[in-house]
Structure 1
Amino acid sequence: ALLSALLLGDGLGLNLLIVAVPAALGAFFAARSAGRRLRPWTAVWALGGLMLLAVPALRDAGWPVFLAMVSALALGSLALHGSRSWPGVLLGSVGLLPSVAGGARWGWRGVRARADDSRGRVRTVARTTAVAVVLLIVFGTLFASADAAFADLLGSLTPDMSIGDSPWRVFLFVLGLLGALAAAYSAAAPVRWDGITVRPGKARNRAEWALPLIVLNLLFAVFIGLQLVVLLGGYDKVLEETGLKPAEYARQGFWQLLWATVLTLLVIALALRWAPRGKAGDRTLVRSVLGVLCVLTLVVVASALRRMDLYVDAFGLTRLRISVAAVELWLGVVLVLILAAGVFGARLLPRAVMVSAAVGVLAFGLVSPDGLIAEQNVQRHGNGGTIDIEYLDGLSADAVPALNELPEPLRSCALENVQRDLGLRDAPWYATSWGEARARNILEEHPAANQGDRCYDLGRDADERDGYEEEDSYDPY
C-alpha cells in the first residue's frame, strides 16, 4: 500500500513490478501459513504474471502495456486459485476481484486480534519507526545541503510528493492495500472454481452429428483449392474478373477469414458438446472429422495472414493491422493445441490455451509493436513506397529509433509530437520506460527541427489522393 501511494502516482514503468513483488510475497506467506504447498502450475502462473509486468518497464506505448497489465492480473489470480478445467481457467482468471471485500474484512479482523495481543510491541514499533524517520529527515537534509551531488541523488530516488495530489495518493494507498489483502486472502482461502462441472450435451448419433461437419469440411476444401489455384497463377485473372485492386482483394478477404476462424472454434466447441461418445468407433469418428476441420482451418489462417501481408505491402503497417494479425496467429496456435489434445488428450488443453495467450501478450509487448510499425513503414518508404507521416507522428516513443532513420524533413515531422510530449514529461526513474529513455537520448543528440506548415503536405498517402480511400483509415488505437 505504501509503495502504491509513493510510486504509482507518477506514471507506469518499473514501479508496477516493484509494487507487485511484495504483494506476491505476502500472498506466498499467507498461503504457507494456511498449509498450501507451492505447486508447479502455481509457480508458472506467478512467474508469468511478474514477467508480464516487465512490459511497462520496457515499452512506452499504452496499448501493449494495458494488455500486459490485464494479463498479469489474470495470471496472478490463477496462481492464487488454481486451475485445471475450463471453468477454473475462465473464472479463476478473474477470481481475485470478488475477494476484495472478503480480504478487507479478513485483514481488519487480523489487525484487531494482533493489536489486542501485543499492545506493548505495537507501541515499541511505533516509537522505533518515529525515531528512525526523524533521524533520516534531519541527517538527510544536512547531507543534501552539504553536497549538491548527494542532493541530486536523493532527489532522484525520493518520490515527488505534493499536497495537490494527496487525494490521488490516498486512493492509490487504498487500492494497493485492498489488492494486497485480496491476494493474501485468496492465497489462504481460495475459491475452487474447478469444482464447477459442465455437463456434456446429449450425445447425437453418428450420422446426425457427422454429416453437417463433413459438408463444412468439403466447403473448406473447395475454398482452399481455389486459393491454391490463385497462388499457382490465377491471381491476375481473378483480379481482372472481379475488377478489384490487389490491396482491395487482400483486405476484402482478411476480415471474413478471421471471422471464419473464430466461428470454426465455436463450431468445434459445440460439436464436442454433442459428439457421440459411446464406443471406440465414436471417438475415432470425432477425432477424424474435427481433426480434418482443424487442419483445413489452419490453411485458412495461413491464407488470412497472407492477405494481410499483401495489404500491408500496399498501405503499410498500422496498430489495427498488426493487432488483428496477431490475434489470427494466436487462433492458429489454439487450433494446433486442439489437434494435439485430440492425439494426446485434452486434460492440459485449458491451461495450454491460457499459457499461449499469456506468451502471446508478452511477446507482443517485447517486440515493440509501435517500433515494428515505424520500421516497416520506413523500410517501405526506402523501397519507393508512400509513407503516411500524419499517422506515424501519433506513435509512441518506442517508434523513435526507426523514425530517426527518415530523411529530412520527414524525420522532423514524424518526431515533432514525440519530442513535444517528452519535453512535457518529468517522470522519475521508476515511472520511465526504457523506450522513453532511449527516445529521449536520441532526440537530445539530434533534435527534431520545427518544419511549420510543411508537415501538413508531406507523406500523404498517394492512393487516397488518387481517389481510393481506405475504409479502415480510422484507427481506434
Structure 2
Amino acid sequence: MSDERSAEPTASEPEPGAKQAAEAERSRASTDPWATPAPRGEPASWAARVRPRPPAAVHAATLWASLATGVLSALLLGEGLGVNLLIVALATSIAAYFAARQAGRRLRPWTWVWAAGGLALLVVPALRDAGWSTFLAVAAALAAGSLALHGSRTWPGILLGSLGLLNSLVLGVGWAWRGVRDRMSHSRARWGTAMRTFAAAAVLLIVFGALFAGADAAFADLLAALTPDVSVADGPWRLLLFLFGIVGALAAAHTAAAPMRWDLLAVRPGKARARWEWALPLIVLNLLFSMFIAVQLAVLLGGYDQVLEKTGLTYAEYARQGFWQLLGATLLTLLVIALALRWAPRTGPRDRTLIRGVLGTLCLLTLVVVAAALRRMDLYVDAYGLTRLRISVAAMELWLGLVIVLIMAAGAFGAQWLPRAVAASAAAAVLAFGLMSPDAMVAERNVQRYESTGKIDVSYFHELSADAAPALDRLPEPLRSCALKGIAEDLAGEDNPWYATSWGQSRAREILAERKIIRPYPCPGDRSYERDRDAYDGEATKTDGEIGPGS
C-alpha cells in the first residue's frame, strides 16, 4: 500500500544545509498532511520525518476482523501449524484492508506482490513438515506482510519496513480501545443487539448440533473432525493465543492506517573519491578473479587427480574447503560493490562508463565464482551425501548469484527498482526452497547415492521430518525400517486435527500404515547396534557411520 500524498525523496539525494533543510521541511509540511512541522529555523529530526500521522478512527469492520483473528488463533493454533496459519493470516489481512481503506490508502501493484507473496509463503507450513523450512517461510511471510502495509521502496524503507509492525503492537491496542469506547458511547443499543444476536446464534448451534450428533454417528464424526478440541485445561494457553491473535491483527491494521514513513530517511551519499583511488583497487581485484578462474579452467581440463596429487588433499577436502572460501568471496564482493557505488564519482559520462565497466566486469567474474562454488558443493555431496546444511548454503549461493544479476541489470537500466527486487527475490527464494521440500531432496539424493554406491548414513535420517518418508520408503529392508524409525516415533505421539496437520505428515502416515516397520531393528546410532548387529536379515557393514549391503 502506498499514499500519493506523502513526498518520498530517494536515498541518493544530498542533504541540504540547515537553512535549506528547514525551508524544504516547511514546504513539505504545507502539502503533506502526514508531516510533523519542525521548529522554524531547524530541520526536522529523522524521528519527526518518519513518524506517522494519527490514524483515522478505527473502522467497525476492522474491529470485527481483529476479533475474528483472535478467536481463530485461540481455536486453531493450539495443536500445531498447518493450514490454520493461513486462515488466521487471511482474517488479519481483512482487518488491515478495511483500516487502509478507511485511511484513504490505495492498493498498488507492489502491494499485491507483497501481500500475495506473504500468503503464498504460508502455504509452506500447510504442505511441509520440516520445522526449519517452515520457520524461514513464516519469517519471510511476516516481512512481506509488513512491506505490503508500508509500501516502502528505498533501501532504508525495505530494511526497516520489514520490521515495522513492532511499533504498532502497543499503539494498535490503544487505537482500537478508543474506537470501541467512542462507538459504545454513541450506540449502546446497537452493540447490545449485536451481542444478543451472537449469543442466540451460539446457543442454537450448540443445542441443535448436540442433538444432530446424537441422532447420527456419521454427522457426529464429521462435526468432531471440523470442530476444534478445546478443553478447560487448555484455557490459559487458548487465552494467550487469543490475545496474540487480536493484538497482531490490530498491529497490522494500525500499520495499514498509519505506517511509519521509513522512505523519508535520507542516507547521506559518500564523499566522492578520485577516479584512480577507487578504480585501481577494483581493477586489481578483477585481475585476481581472472587468475582464479583461469586456474579453475585448467583444473577442469586437466582433471582433479593431478591437482589432488600436488596439493595433498583428498577429493572431499578439496571440494569442502573450496566451497566455503568461495561463498565468503561472494559475500565480500557484494560488500565491495556497495562501497564502490557509495564512493565512486558520477558527475560525468566518463565516470559513469568507468563504473559500469569495472563493476560490470567484477559482477561477471563473481558469477563464475558462484558457479565454481556450486560445483565444489556438488563434488562434496557426491563424496559424502547431501545434508540440510549443504543444501541450505547451496541455495544461499544461488540466491547471491541472482542478486548479482539484479545489480548488473540495475547498472544497465537504473536502480530505482533494485531494493524491492532484491527483497522480492529473497521471499521468492524462501518460497521455492520450502515448496521443493529440502528434507525430501536430502533423502532422495542419499537414496540415489546408496543405489549407486551401496553407502548410506542411516542415523542421519532420524533428524529428518516426515517429508522424507516417500524417498526413504524405497530403501530395502532392514535399511527402510531403520531410516523410517525416527519419523515413526515422531508421528506416533501426534494426533493433530486436519487444520494443524501438513500434507507431508499425512503422506508419511499413509506410508507407515501401508507398510509397517517390520520390527525394531538395532540401527546405526543405537547403543545396541554393535551388540545386536546379527539381528539384521542379511549382512551389514558399518564403516565411518555408513552401512551398506555386503562386506
Q: Is the 8 A contact 1:386 1:461 kept in 2?
A: no
Q: Residue by residue, what CA displacement relative to the aligned partner does 1:314-370 show, whole Å, maximum 9, x if unpaired? A: 000000000000000000000000000010110100011011101100000000000
Say if 2:310 is the partner of 1:232.
no
Q: Partners of 1:144 and 1:68 in 2: how far apart?
A: 39
1:228 Cα shift?
0.5
Q: Residue by residue, what CA displacement relative to the aligned partner does 1:216-238 show, whole Å, maximum 9, x if unpaired? A: 11111111110110001142111
Alignment of 1:44-443 (within 5 A): 44-443=113-512
Q: Partners of 2:349 and 2:522 in 1: how far apart?
A: 74
Q: Partners of 1:34 and 1:426 in 2: how far apart?
A: 44
Larger relative contact order (Cα-Cα within 8 Å, sequence gap ≥ 6): 1
Alignment of 1:438-453 (within 5 A): 438-453=507-522
Q: Percent identity?
A: 68
Secondary structure of 1:383's aligned partner: helix
1:462 to 543, 547, 550: 543
Q: Partners of 2:392 and 2:453 in 1: how far apart?
A: 25
Task: Report the CA distance shift for 1:115/1:339 in structure 2 as closer, same or farther (over 3 A).
Answer: same
Q: Is the 8 A contact 1:389 1:460 kept in 2?
A: no
Counterpart of 2:517, as a letter, is A
Q: Residue by residue, what CA displacement relative to the aligned partner does 1:52-106 show, whole Å, maximum 9, x if unpaired? A: 0000000000011000000000000000001111011100001011111111110
Q: Partners of 1:460 and 1:310 in 2: how far apart?
A: 25
Structure 1 or 2, whichever has the larger Rg, is 2
Flag structure 2 segments of 5+ consecutive residues without an equivalent.
Answer: 1-69, 534-539
Counterpart of 1:388, as a letter, is D
1:26 Cα shift?
1.1
1:452 Cα shift?
3.1
Secondary structure of 2:386's aligned partner: coil
Counterpart of 2:212, as a letter, is F
Q: Partners of 1:460 and 1:416 in 2: how far apart?
A: 19
Q: Partners of 1:129 and 1:358 in 2: how far apart?
A: 40
1:460 Cα shift?
7.7
Q: Is the 8 A contact 2:410 2:418 kept in 1?
A: yes
Q: Partners of 1:436 and 1:296 in 2: how far apart?
A: 44
Number of equivalent positions: 466
1:385 Cα shift?
4.0
TM-score in terms of structure 2 length: 0.83
Q: Is the 8 A contact 2:391 2:438 kept in 1?
A: yes
Q: Is the 8 A contact 1:388 1:461 kept in 2?
A: no
Q: Is the 8 A contact 1:388 1:460 kept in 2?
A: no
Q: Is the 8 A contact 1:253 1:307 kept in 2?
A: yes
1:135 Cα shift?
1.1
Q: Partners of 1:385 and 1:166 in 2: how far apart?
A: 53
Task: Report the CA distance shift for 1:464/1:2 in structure 2 as closer, same or farther (over 3 A).
Answer: closer
1:462 Cα shift?
3.4
Q: Partners of 1:51 and 1:14 in 2: how far apart?
A: 11
Secondary structure of 2:228's aligned partner: coil
1:453 Cα shift?
2.1
Secondary structure of 2:78's aligned partner: helix
Counterpart residue number, 2:104: 35
Q: Is the 8 A contact 1:45 1:79 kept in 2?
A: yes
1:448 Cα shift?
1.3
Q: Is the 8 A contact 2:150 2:260 kept in 1?
A: yes
Task: Report the CA distance shift for 1:465/1:358 in structure 2 as closer, same or farther (over 3 A).
Answer: closer
Q: Residue by residue, what CA displacement relative to the aligned partner does 1:413-438 show, whole Å, maximum 9, x if unpaired? A: 01112112212101000000001001
Q: Partners of 1:348 and 1:53 in 2: how far apart?
A: 25
Q: Residue by residue, what CA displacement relative to the aligned partner does 1:139-179 show, whole Å, maximum 9, x if unpaired? A: 11111111111111111111111122211111111111111
1:450 Cα shift?
2.0
Q: Residue by residue, what CA displacement relative to the aligned partner does 1:193-247 show, whole Å, maximum 9, x if unpaired? A: 1111111100011111100111111111111110110001142111001111111
Counterpart of 1:141, as a letter, is A
TM-score in terms of structure 1 length: 0.96
Q: Partners of 1:171 and 1:376 in 2: how far apart?
A: 42
Flag structure 1 segments of 5+ consecutive residues without an equivalent.
Answer: 467-477
1:465 Cα shift?
8.0
Counterpart of 2:543, as a letter, is A
Q: Is the 8 A contact 1:387 1:461 kept in 2?
A: no
Counterpart of 2:284, as a letter, is V
Q: Partners of 2:546 and 2:196 in 1: how far apart?
A: 74
1:393 Cα shift?
2.2
Q: Is the 8 A contact 1:27 1:184 kept in 2?
A: yes
Q: Is the 8 A contact 1:416 1:450 kept in 2?
A: no
Secondary structure of 2:463's aligned partner: coil
1:461 Cα shift?
7.0
Q: Select between 164-173 and 13-22 the one with higher mean Cα deviation.
A: 164-173
Task: Report the CA distance shift for 1:141/1:175 in structure 2 as closer, same or farther (over 3 A).
Answer: same
Q: Partners of 1:23 and 1:286 in 2: how far apart?
A: 46
Task: Report the CA distance shift for 1:210/1:461 in structure 2 as closer, same or farther (over 3 A).
Answer: farther
Q: Partners of 2:100 and 2:545 in 1: how far apart?
A: 60
Secondary structure of 2:522's aligned partner: helix
Counterpart of 2:487, as a letter, is V
Task: Report the CA distance shift for 1:385/1:305 in structure 2 as closer, same or farther (over 3 A).
Answer: farther
Q: Partners of 2:245 and 2:291 in 1: how far apart?
A: 56
Task: Report the CA distance shift for 1:392/1:454 in structure 2 as closer, same or farther (over 3 A).
Answer: closer
Q: Is the 8 A contact 2:118 2:141 kept in 1?
A: yes
Q: Select between 450-459 and 194-203 the one with higher mean Cα deviation.
A: 450-459
Task: Report the CA distance shift for 1:40/1:460 in structure 2 as closer, same or farther (over 3 A).
Answer: farther
Q: Partners of 1:131 and 1:359 in 2: how far apart?
A: 46
Secondary structure of 1:100's aligned partner: helix
Task: Report the CA distance shift for 1:10/1:464 in structure 2 as closer, same or farther (over 3 A).
Answer: closer
Q: Is the 8 A contact 2:456 2:546 kept in 1?
A: no
Q: Is the 8 A contact 2:100 2:257 kept in 1?
A: yes
